[in-house]
Amino acid sequence: MTTLLDKARTGRSNALANRLSTQSDCTVDIGTRERFLAPRRNESLPFISARARF
């Protein structure tokens, strides 16, 4: 599972690098970079289904 997550993050990093290299001034704000490279979900919170909440 961690290997797949690492591959996904690497893919996003490569996509960001390609995006930066194709821009004319190669600038991107910090917020965009953080959103692009952030993990997809917060894994510290346990999953509770909607049915189990009630």
Residue 13 lies in a domain: yes
Report the chain's C-alpha Rg in angstroms.
16
For residues 42 and 14, give the distance between their C-alpha atoms in angstroms, rounded to a whole number: 22
Q: How many domains does the chain have?
A: 1
For residues 40 and 4, give the distance between their C-alpha atoms in angstroms, rounded to a whole number: 12
Residue 39 lies in a domain: no
| Non-local CB neighbours of 5 within 8 Å, separated by 6+ positions | 39
Residue 12 lies in a domain: yes
Give the model's pLDDT for residue 26.
47
pTM of the model: 0.30
Domain containing 24 equals 1-31
- pLDDT tens, residue by residue, 6-54: 777 777 777 777 766 655 554 556 566 666 666 666 666 677 788 887 6
For residues 54 and 43, give the distance between their C-alpha atoms in angstroms, rounded to a whole number: 22
